[in-house]
Chains A and B, each alone.
Chain A
Amino acid sequence: MWLSDQIGRVTTVPYKGATEGCRKMTAQVQTYSSLVEELERLRQHQADLQQERDDLEMMLDTSLEHATMIENELKTKNDLLSNALQVQQRTQELLVQSRKRAQEATRVKSSFLANMSHELRTPLNAILSYTDILQDEATDLNLPEFVADLGKIKQAGKHLLGLINSVLDLSRIEAGKMPVYLETFDVANMVQDVITTISPLVEKNKNRLEVICPPEIGWMRADATKLHQALLNLLSNACKFTEAGLITMEVKTKGLTGIEWIYFSVKDSGIGITPEQLENLFQEFSQADVSTTRKYGGSGLGLAISRQFCRMMGGDISVTSQAGVGSDFVIELPRLVKLEKSEVSISED
């Protein structure tokens, strides 16, 4: 019993010491393990941070390079723009110079035409007056051959006077010196005057004229002389380019956007106009084509002047036509023409 106690004491004491050592060792191992894990975590974190830093550096580089490149592109574009602006400025200067020259040239041309027209009209009026006197004398002396010949001189002279007047009109329009005289007149009466004037020309080519102008159209306020001239021009064109056909003149009204408009339509069943010819129809000195001038005469000024007259009164002339079928010219004017104060003189009737 004693012995076994002694053995137990001897063996128990070192055993207890070993257990304590083991515990300590286990704790140390666990601590070490945790440290290793922590170290690994820190390493990973460091690697992540390094990656983030690399990324940020790369982004910064990319961004800086991009900015530099854009700046260079912008500079190049600015240079181009600057050059273009210089070119534009130079062009603008040239344009201003050209415009001045053109205006001066137009002024000189208009002045020349006005003077020349005057110079031409003076002797022509003398020729026409003396022709009248001679015609009267020839009639008194009973010399019918002379009367007929003098009639031809008179006719040609009047034609020439008409052309000179057209050139003068055009030059005055171009120079902005064509006055508009507004007056109030009865539309149907004015149309009747035009019809009376044009009647001989209607009969000349064996045409028939139909007029639709209801008296209730009433009055209008415009430049009666200019409208008269424009209508005569349209009607004489219709007579000239139609043979044994029908010419219709129709007047009607229409209210548009608070303004009442009067439409004067001159329709014929004549030779018509091709789309190509329509393009230059209202150009000065331009007829449908050269052969037209040879065959039908005229200066090619009538339509250009008529359109200018209508535009001066706030209206216009339009045309629809088909070659070989006929043409329809329409003058549109406000019933009450109003002018800008600075534009032209206005007579009070």
Chain B
Amino acid sequence: MDTQIQIEGNGYKVWYQAEGQTVVCQGSLRLNSMQEYNPISQLLTQVLEYHPGILTLDLQELAFLNSSGINVLCKFVIAVRQQKDVSLVVQASNKIPWQGKSLLNLQKLLPGLQLVLND
């Protein structure tokens, strides 16, 4: 699969790299509403349609994520749980304070979620 989908906005970039089956989020996501997050939600939903087996969500360079953004991630994690044939690995960074705390909560929605905190 050579799919390369990408969304770029003011101060952020989200893209899927088929090689490594990874969704990468970079920059600061501070969109104002769930509606504004729609393109990103659609990208995540589209990726699930590929049935990637193991899917990695790389957030190591996502410096900021607002409350609407964390809701999008929660919904995505629930969608992964419902799909049953996808394992989710979340790559996070210890250097970004919110990641260690907020991302742990995602495991409560999807107990099989593997959270990897890198230095």
Q: Does A70 contact B (CB under 8 A)?
A: yes
| B70–A66 touching, CB < 8 Å | yes
Scoring A residues 215 to 231 as 1 if CB is less than 8 Å from chain B, else 0, what string do you get? 00000000000000000
**Given the complex, which residues of B lie within 8 Å of A65, measured CB to CB?**
101-102, 105
Interface of B, secondary structure class, is helix
| B102–A58 touching, CB < 8 Å | no
Q: Does A62 contact B (CB under 8 A)?
A: yes
Query: What CA separation (Å) do A125 and B70 show in the bound complex?
Result: 86
A72 vs chain B, min Cβ distance (A): 9
Query: What CA separation (Å) do A66 and B65 show in the bound complex?
Result: 9
Chain A interface size band reads 10 to 19
Query: What CA separation (Å) do A66 and B74 show in the bound complex?
Result: 12
B74 vs chain A, min Cβ distance (A): 4
The interface on chain B, measured as residues whose beta carbon lies within 8 A of the other chain's beta carbons, has a size of: 17
Given the known inter-chain contacts A66-B102, A69-B102, please indicate yes or no for A58 contacting B67, CB distance below 8 A: no
Number of A-B contacts (CB under 8 A): 44
**Given the complex, which residues of A lie within 8 Å of B105, measured CB to CB?**
58, 61-62, 65-66
| A55–B102 touching, CB < 8 Å | no
Q: Does A93 contact B (CB under 8 A)?
A: no
CB within 8 A of B78: which of A55, A63, A66, A70?
A: A55
**Given the complex, which residues of A lie within 8 Å of B5, measured CB to CB?**
none
Which partner residue on chain A sits nearest B106 by CB separation?
A: A62
CB contacts under 8 Å to A, within B25-83, are 64-67, 70-71, 74-75, 78
A62 vs chain B, min Cβ distance (A): 4
A interface with B by C-beta (< 8 Å): 55, 58-59, 61-63, 65-67, 69-70, 73
B interface with A by C-beta (< 8 Å): 64-67, 70-71, 74-75, 78, 97-98, 101-102, 105-106, 108-109
